[in-house]
Amino acid sequence: MDRRELVESSSSQNVNISIASLQKRGSGKETVTVFLSEGSSFFMPLPLQESWVPGYLLNEDDLLFLKEEDAYVRGKEWAASRLALREDSSGRMAQKLLQREYPASVVRRIIDDLTGLGFLDDQRFASLWLRERIRSHPEGKESLTAGLQKRGVPSGIARSCVDEYVNDRDIDEGLQRLIDKLTSVPSVDRDKLIRKLQRRGFSYSSIIKKLDRDNF
């Protein structure tokens, strides 16, 4: 019987389910596997309630709580394992968890906990992304801000990070590199070039200033 069937079964009939045994798990022993009398098992964070010992008879509310705590432990471990490999934003990680069908209340709890532990840090993610983006894909500040928001960084943090980590020199040099690249081919139309640069978030005035200086 899986976790969903267990709760549904207990809701539809009078099923006596008790805790069969408990086993601490993980290197830090911060979670425990709860084995139930009908053969299923769930993960739960420690500490448990004092009454939750082998032989304790679970009611329907206990089973629902057990299911939610199991989702929390599994979701948090899954998210932490991904963050150990690659930085991510809080918004995008939340979306990934929701796509894996974790309840929204559990997802909010996981995101809050991982942020508190330092595994998730939107400002750190934003600074790393901006550094690479400026180098590989020159854009104006508005486009950079929109790019961060698209990747799950809250709008306020996105704007403050762009202001903090991207200076006018970065934008100016990026615009020049992009103009050099786009004008390296023959017969470039000035108006089309301007529109393309504007779509990358560069201001009209800065584009015209560059093009006029280069006699383009």
Residue 6 has pLDDT above 80, yes or no: no
163 pLDDT exceeds 90?
Answer: yes
CATH class for the domain made up of 3-117: mainly alpha
Backbone torsions φ then ψ of 58, nearest 5 degrees? -90, 135
12 burial level (CB within 10 Å; 0-12, 13-18, 19+): exposed
* 210, pLDDT greater than 60: yes
Does the pLDDT of residue 187 top 90, yes or no?
no
Higher pLDDT pick, 3 / 99: 99
Mean pLDDT value across the chain: 91
DSSP string, 145-211: HHHHHHTT--HHHHHHHHHHH--HHHHHHHHHHHHHHHTSSSS--HHHHHHHHHHTT--HHHHHHHH
**How many residues would you count in the chain?**
216
For the entire predicted model, the pTM comes to: 0.83
**pLDDT band per the 50, 70, 90 thresholds, residue 9:** low
Domain boundaries, the chain: 3-117, 122-213
Exposed / middle / buried, residue 161 (Cβ in 10 Å: 0-12, 13-18, 19+):
buried
Q: What is the pLDDT of residue 21?
A: 96
Check residue 213 and give its pLDDT: 87
Question: Measuring CA to CA, which residue among 170, 85, 186, 84 is closest to residue 127?
Answer: 170
The DSSP result for 123-136, as a single string, is HHHHHHHHHHHHHH
